[in-house]
Amino acid sequence: MTAQSAGVVKVPGRGVDVTLLLILSIALIFRIYLAVTVPYIHDEENNAIPLAKTISFTPGSLHLPLRGENHGALPAYVVKASSSLFGTTPLAYRALHIFLGVCTILIVYRIARDWYGPVAGRWAAMLLAFNEYYLPISARATAHAPFLFFVALALYVFSRFLATERAGYLYAAGAAVGLAFYCKEHAALLLPAFLLTLLHPKFRHWLRGRHAYLAAGVFVAFIGPDLYWNATTSTETLVHYGNQPALQAHYTNHLRRIGGIGFSPYPFMFYGRRAVMPLYKAVTGRALVDETAEYSSINPVLGILLLGAVLATAIFRRERDVLTVFLLLMFACVFGLFTFIARGDPPGRLDPVSWIWVETTIFPAVMLAGAGLAEVGGRARLVAWMVGGGALAYGVVLILSQNAG
């Protein structure tokens, strides 16, 4: 690994990584193919695209919505920009989402490369680019592609802070999380991970100064308009841009998704829905309802590899660089929260539970898995690389064959 336990980063040379260019090129081709051929899903044709059509910058008929039905309206502005630039075909609506998706792969590569080396960076890029969840959702006009882009951007600038201890990166991280919040509110779960990382002995002195708190203030300033909207707008407000009027979700509506402390198997579905659902029924005798069946989860083999990398890093790695500590904390903050809350009863069309809520854990998972795959040596390397590559190839073939069918 290129990052040492003290958190000193040895950045590789700036030459062109041909393997990365190949990964990005193939990723782009697959996403364009899906964008052209895959029909719209509910979140596209009932949320992002119709909301984007209501946006107007014309003087006299100005309409700049702050929120959509359930979340902030920022993804709709991405759709609006994409359709303004390229037209109103499925590919045109999805074009900027594809661009953001490919940029997210590049960001993840940069983080993993800078801390764990170029081989780890390539593996992290492949594990993100070609898994069954991220491949299709980064080719659709939904909130997920911009949300994950801004989360990845927040991770990148925070990783640069960890490497350089420059306060400007803290402020940039606060701004990036604020933008992610306008896609999905649970972006705020990055903040406790940031705070817990700053408790590391190397960075604890930052909590005695002003910059950490001012950076948190940047986040609050970014979401200030949304806070004001939630405080002043009736909880009975309806939206009318979709196929039927729907209740517009406030923070209180989202909090009603939490039914108390309990155990939820849904986060594990993200890393292997096809295995978790029958296993849950076999153990409990009850069927596990999938509230978001239109999305594809990661196949169980790849899921075991990713979860195994996180667990192995947490349990067996004695010396951890500070980025690894942060990635483990981020995974724990998101995955742990949604694992230990019981199903709630929210109003409107909010899902009471969903396995996609832990989608941001894909970032620490692929980076830690990439670092592990880069480190393994001897005969084990061939086996590990074949398993990783085979699981990715299987996922890609499955997604493309489902589309062909």
Which is more confident, 179 or 245? 179
Residue 19's CB: how many other CB atoms inside 10 A? 15
At 370, phi and psi to the nearest 5?
Answer: -60, -40
H helix or E strand, kind and range, residue 226 = helix 211-232
Question: What is the per-residue pLDDT across 41-76, written as a single tens digit (0 to 9) for each?
Answer: 989 998 999 999 999 999 988 999 999 999 999 999
Residue 34 has pLDDT above 50, yes or no: yes
Q: How many CA atoms lie within 13 A of 8 on its CB side?
A: 2
Residues 6+ positions from 100 with CB-CB distance below 8 Å: 78, 138, 145, 146, 149
Please report which confidence band the pLDDT of residue 5 belongs to, taking 50, 70 and 90 as the band edges.
very low
Q: What is the pLDDT of residue 14?
A: 60
Average pLDDT in the chain: 93
Residues 6+ positions from 180 with CB-CB distance below 8 Å: 147, 150, 151, 154, 187, 190
φ/ψ region of 200 (left if φ > 0, alpha if ψ in -120 to 50, else beta) reads beta
DSSP state of 260: E
Question: What is the per-residue pLDDT across 351-367, written as a single tens digit (0 to 9) for each?
Answer: 899 999 999 999 999 99
> Cα 271 from chain centroid?
14
**Angle, helix 18-37 to helix 378-404, in steps of 10 degrees:** 20
Residue 287 has pLDDT above 80, yes or no: yes
Q: What is the pLDDT of residue 60?
A: 87
Question: What is the per-residue pLDDT across 182-226, written as a single tens digit (0 to 9) for each?
Answer: 999 999 999 999 999 999 999 999 999 999 999 999 999 999 999
H helix or E strand, kind and range, residue 167 = helix 167-181
Contacts 24+ apart (CB under 8 A), 341-344: 341/258, 341/259, 341/260, 341/261, 341/262, 341/264, 342/258, 342/259, 342/260, 342/261, 342/262, 342/263, 342/264, 343/259, 343/262, 343/264, 344/256, 344/257, 344/258, 344/259
Q: How many CA atoms lie within 13 A of 182 on its CB side?
A: 25
Residue 247 has pLDDT above 90, yes or no: no
The residue ranges of DSSP E strands in 244-332, in sequence order, are 246-247, 258-261
Residue 388's CB: how many other CB atoms inside 10 A? 23
Among 39-43, 134-138, 323-327, 357-361, the minimum mean pLDDT is found in 39-43
Whether the model clears a pTM of 0.85, i.e. scores above it, the answer is: yes
SS3 259: strand
The arithmetic mean of pLDDT across residues 385-397, rounded, is: 93
**The one-letter amino acid at 207:** L
Please report which confidence band the pLDDT of residue 6 belongs to, taking 50, 70 and 90 as the band edges.
very low
**The one-letter amino acid at 108:** V
